Amino acid sequence: MDRYAVVGNPVAHSRSPEIHAAFARQTGQHLVYDKLLAPLDDFVGTVDRFFDAGGCGLNVTLPFKEEAFAWVGEHDEFAGAAGAVNTIARAARGFRGYNTDGVGLVRDLEVNLANPLAGRRILVLGAGGAVRGVLGPLLGRAPAEIVVSNRTEGRAAALVDRFEDPRLRAAVWERLGDGFDVVINGTSAGTTRRSLAITPEVVRAAFVYDMAYGDAATSFLQWARASGAARTSDGLGMLVEQAAEAFRLWRGVRPDSVAVLTALRSGG
């Protein structure tokens, strides 16, 4: 049976196996999807062993998306622009890396959550591999401006320079203003249990979205609501939508992501 997995560290919390199992049942595909814990210093060895044993494809989560970019031999447009890969598939010669994070985020925001992005001022918190993967698709939705903000300005500025788009600018957390329509948390603050040095004015009256889901998103979203956010959402929908795109790339069929997301939200 064809074998797939999500590789990361940590990875025990991942809901990707149940999501892909649901996609497989829905579409009549026969496959196995596991969790693959990679040591922080042996991502390459872990991936090599998986594919040497006949594995068909991998999803890549924190903190390995940039290492995955270096490992594959070719990339799609979004992965190439971001320098980060979250989906690996076998190719005619070697392996091809994709980044489905941004496609999943945009679909969740605009379709599932009915929150259009055109003409909006968007703040993205963080400048790591997760954020790299979403900037291209976000820019493709014609926002008025996207501010990439990080604890240190240098990393955010380097990411902005990578995309060379006049709608992008960098800022440190302590110097953010207000007036954002959408605030997206792409940091690992929820996982590491640390707070972000931003003021309540940053999220007031905004749609606040955390790319994490479950417990990892709880503290930031609770703070955002207490600070006057208009609406909030965790990233479970993004997880489902990026997984649906990965499933399509691997299996040639796109599953009904809304049905799976609805079941997950209801505890099914």
* Number of domains the chain contains: 2
d(CA 84, CA 123): 20
- What is the reported pLDDT for 130? 83
132 and 219 inside one domain: yes
CATH of the domain at 209: 3.40.50.720
pLDDT in tens, the chain (268 residues): 999 999 999 999 899 999 999 999 999 999 999 999 999 999 999 999 999 999 999 999 989 999 999 999 999 999 998 899 999 999 999 999 999 999 999 999 999 999 999 999 999 999 987 898 899 999 999 999 999 999 888 999 999 999 889 999 999 988 898 999 999 999 977 665 567 889 999 999 999 999 999 888 999 999 999 999 999 999 999 999 999 999 999 999 999 999 999 999 998 6
- What is the reported pLDDT for 191? 63
- Is 65 known to be catalytic? yes
154 and 136 inside one domain: yes
- What is the reported pLDDT for 62? 87
d(CA 89, CA 91): 6
184 and 114 inside one domain: yes
Which of 7, 23, 58, 65 does the annotation list as catalytic? 65
178 and 248 inside one domain: no
Which amino acid, residue 197?
A: A
Residues in the chain, overall count: 268
210 and 155 inside one domain: yes
- What is the reported pLDDT for 153? 86
- What is the reported pLDDT for 193? 56
CATH of the domain at 75: 3.40.50.10860
The CB density around residue 211, as the number of other CB atoms within 10 Å, is: 27
Residue 245's domain spans which residues?
A: 2-98+237-265
121 and 225 inside one domain: yes
- Burial class from Cβ neighbours inside 10 Å (0-12, 13-18, 19+) for residue 65 reads buried
Number of H helices, E strands in the chain: 11, 12
Q: Which residues of 192-207 are buried (b: 16+ CB within 10 A; e: fewer)?
A: eeeebebeeebbbebb
163 and 195 inside one domain: yes
Answer positive or negative: Cα dihedral of 71, 77, 78, 80.
positive
The residue among 168, 111, 179, 119 whose CA lies nearest residue 143 is 119
- What is the reported pLDDT for 189? 75
pTM for the whole thing? 0.93
230 and 127 inside one domain: yes
Provide DSSP, 251-263: HS----HHHHHHH
